[in-house]
Chain A
Amino acid sequence: MSAEILAAPSSGIAPVGHYAYDQVDRAFLHDRVEQFRDQVARRLSGTLSEDEFKPLRLMNGLYLQLHAYMLRVAIPYGILDSRQMRELANIARTYDRDYGHFTTRQNIQFNWIRLEDTPDILARLATVDMHAIQTSGNCIRNVTCDQFAGAAADELLDPRVHAEILRQWSTLHPEFSFLPRKFKIAISGSPNDRVAARFHDIGLVAKPGRHGTVFDVFVGGGMGRTPIVGVHLRDNLPEEDLLAYLEAMIRVYNEYGRRDNIYKARIKILVQALGAEGYREKVDAEFAAMDRARYRLPPETVAAIRARFGTPALDAPSDAAERLAGARRADAAFDRWVRTNTHSHRAAGYISAVISLKPDGGIPGDATSAQLDAIADLAERFSFGEIRISHMQNVVLGHVRQDELHALWQELGRAGLASANIGLIGDIIACPGLDYCSLANARSIPIAQKLSARFANPDLQERIGDLQIKISGCINACGHHHAGHIGILGVDKKGEEFFQLTLGGSAASDAAIGQILGPALPEDSTVDAIAHLVDAYLVHRTDGERFLDTYRRLGAALFKDAVYALA
Chain B
Amino acid sequence: MPLLENGRIVEDFWTTIGGDELLPPTGPVIVPLDRLEDGLARPAGEKLGVALPPDAEIAVLRAALPRLALVGVTFPTFRDGRAFSQARALREHLDFAGDIRVTGRPLPDQYEFLLRCGVSTVQLPDGADPAVWARAHERFTTAYQPAVRDERAEGFGLRRFLA
- Cα distance A3–B144 in the bound complex, in angstroms: 15
Report how far A161 CA is from B1 CA in the complex, Å. 47
Task: State whether A301 touches B158 (Cβ < 8 A).
Answer: yes
Interface status of A294 (Cβ within 8 A of chain B): yes
> Does A172 contact B144, Cβ atoms closer than 8 Å?
yes
Which B residues lie within 8 Å of A315 (CB)? none
User: B158 is contacted by which of A8, A31, A168 (Cβ under 8 Å)?
Assistant: A168
Q: Within A281-295, which residues are at the interface with B (CB < 8 Å)? A: 289-291, 294-295
Q: Could you say which of B57, B80, B93, B147 contacts A174, with CB atoms under 8 Å apart? A: B147
Contacts of A9 in B (CB 8 A): 156
Complex interface residues of chain A between 151 and 177 (CB less than 8 A to chain B): 165, 168-177
Q: With CB as the reference atom, state the residue of chain B lying closest to A9.
A: B156
User: Looking across the interface, which residue of chain B has its beta carbon closest to that of A137?
Assistant: B79
Tell whether B101 is near chain A: CB-to-CB under 8 Å: no
The smallest beta-carbon distance between A43 and chain B, in angstroms, is 13
Is A554 in contact with chain B by the CB < 8 A criterion? no
Asked if A178 is at the interface of the complex by the 8 Å CB criterion, the answer is yes
Bound Cα distance A174, B139 (Å): 14
Cβ-defined contact, A31 with B116, below 8 A: no
Q: Are B159 and A6 in contact (CB under 8 A)?
A: yes
Please state if B144 and A7 are interface contacts (CB–CB under 8 Å): no
Question: Which of the residues B92, B140, B156 comes within 8 Å of A172, measured between beta carbons?
Answer: B140
Number of interface residues of B (CB under 8 A): 39
Q: What residues on B are CB-neighbors of A259 within 8 Å?
A: 79-80, 82
Q: Which A residues lie within 8 Å of B117 (CB)? A: 174-175
One of B7-15, B16-24, B38-46, B105-113 at the interface: B105-113
A6 pairs with B92, CB closer than 8 A: no
Asked if A295 and B155 make an inter-chain contact with CB atoms under 8 angstroms apart, the answer reads no
A1–B78 Cα distance when bound, in Å, is 30
| Beta-carbon contact of A301 and B161 below 8 Å | no
Of chain A, the residue at the smallest CB distance from B95 is A291
Do the beta carbons of B84 and A8 come within 8 Å of each other? no
Cβ A254 vs Cβ B84 within 8 A: yes
Interface check B154, CB cutoff 8 A:
yes
A556 within 8 A of B: no
- How many residue pairs between the two chains, A and B, have CB atoms under 8 Å in the bound complex? 116
**Nearest CB of chain A from residue B65's CB, rounded to whole Å:** 15
Q: In the complex, are the beta carbons of B81 and A304 less than 8 A apart?
A: no
Instruction: Report the bound CA distance from A8 to B81 in whole Å.
Output: 34
Chain B residues lying within 8 Å of A168, measured Cβ to Cβ, are 144-145, 157-158
Q: Measured between alpha carbons, how far is A203 from B80 in the docked complex, in Å? A: 25
B140–A28 contact, CB under 8 A?
Answer: yes
Say yes or no for B141: interface residue by CB 8 A criterion. Answer: yes
How would residues 63 to 80 of chain A score, 1 for a CB under 8 Å from any chain B CB and 0 otherwise? Answer: 000000000000000000
Q: How far is the CB of A261 from the nearest CB of chain B, in Å?
A: 13
Question: Min CB distance, B17 to chain A, in Å?
Answer: 26
Chain B nearest CB from A299 CB (Å) reads 12
Question: Is B26 part of the binding interface, using a Cβ–Cβ cutoff of 8 Å?
Answer: no
Chain A interface SS verdict (over half): helix
Partner of B88, one of A169, A172, A175: A175
Q: Which residues of B126-140 have CB atoms within 8 Å of chain A's CB atoms?
A: 139-140
**A343 on interface, CB distance cutoff 8 Å:** no
Residue numbers in B under 8 Å from A3 (CB-CB): 152, 154-155, 161
- The distance in angstroms between the C-alpha atoms of A332 and B146, with both chains bound, is 56
Q: In the bound complex, do residue B141 and residue A31 qualify as a contact, i.e. CB atoms below 8 Å apart?
A: yes
Q: Could you say which of A28, A169, A178 contacts B145, with CB atoms under 8 Å apart?
A: A169
Interface check A255, CB cutoff 8 A: yes
Counting CB contacts under 8 A, is A22 at the interface?
Answer: yes
Q: Find the A residue at minimum CB distance from B76.
A: A259
B64 contacts the other chain (CB 8 A) = no
Q: In the complex, are the beta carbons of A301 and B139 less than 8 A apart?
A: no
Residue interface mask A441-473, B partner, CB < 8 A = 1:
000000000000000000000000000000000
Residues of B within 8 A of A269 (CB): none
Contact B88 A138 (CB under 8 A): no
Residue of A nearest to B87 (CB): A175
A536 proximal to B (CB < 8 A): no
Asked if A243 is at the interface of the complex by the 8 Å CB criterion, the answer is yes
Besides the known contacts A178-B78, A179-B81, A251-B89, 9 further A-B residue pairs in the complex with CB atoms under 8 A apart: A1-B141, A27-B142, A165-B158, A172-B144, A174-B147, A175-B88, A251-B88, A254-B82, A305-B157
Q: Show 19 residue pairs from A and B whose CB-CB distance is below 8 angstroms, ordered by the A residue.
A: A6-B159, A35-B109, A55-B78, A55-B107, A171-B144, A172-B113, A174-B112, A174-B113, A174-B114, A174-B145, A175-B85, A175-B88, A177-B81, A177-B110, A178-B84, A251-B85, A251-B88, A254-B84, A294-B148
Query: 9 closest A-B pairs (Cβ-Cβ)?
Result: A178-B81, A6-B155, A174-B116, A174-B113, A1-B141, A168-B144, A175-B84, A169-B145, A254-B85
